[in-house]
Amino acid sequence: MDGNRRWAKAKGLPALEGHRRGYEKTHEVLLWASKLGVRYLILYAFSTENWSRTKEEVGYLMGLLHLLLSRDVTRIAKEGYRIRCIGERGRFSPDLQKLMNGAEELTAKNTGTMLVLALSYGGRAEILAGVRKILCGKKTEITETDFSSSLWSAGIPDPDMIIRPGGEKRLSGFLTWGSVYSELFFTDTKWPDFSLEEFQAMLAEFGTRERRIGK
């Protein structure tokens, strides 16, 4: 969900306004994904590196997350979506951790699109957490399936496609383990301006790509 601050700067607006508009875009994209048959929508909402931003900016982002998990979660649940949070939950306030758990429990029985929020997430951090979990066990032989089940993203299918708006052409630690065969899409469009038409065009192109998965 890249480009919020640059979008705001280009329009002469405060950086925080860019985040607010990016937050609104999240609701739109979830609706589009659901209508287009996307079963899992994973949003890289806050990385492990984002904690180093200014106190004001981090506080504002935490406020938006609180809003989503307290006010908006009721509507999300009624519309049949599921919510899952992955990442370093322990770095968030006890209140936000409670809201994350509550959102997952409230929507657990829904059957619609799953909205996965990657929060204080980093691909290397996820792999290290998985290694630590395995080391606490007694297995001496570990399969890829064993390792996948130890990750924060366990139970979520590897992404078929990854879209990065904002002009950068890198994954920046997004789903490092699960993205090895994902189809990548990069666009100069900043997140607040990402459109349904562009999303549909990417899905259409995805349908034309030959996915050999190493075969």
Residues labelled as active-site residues: 2, 50
Q: How many CA atoms lie within 13 A of 115 on its CB side?
A: 26
- Gap between the Cα atoms of 63 and 95, Å rounded: 11
| 11 three-class SS | coil
Q: H or E stretch including 106?
A: helix 94-107
- Gap between the Cα atoms of 176 and 148, Å rounded: 12
- Gap between the Cα atoms of 135 and 125, Å rounded: 15
User: 161: Cβ–Cβ under 8 A, 6 or more apart, which residues?
Assistant: 182, 183, 184, 185, 202, 203, 206
- Gap between the Cα atoms of 133 and 195, Å rounded: 40
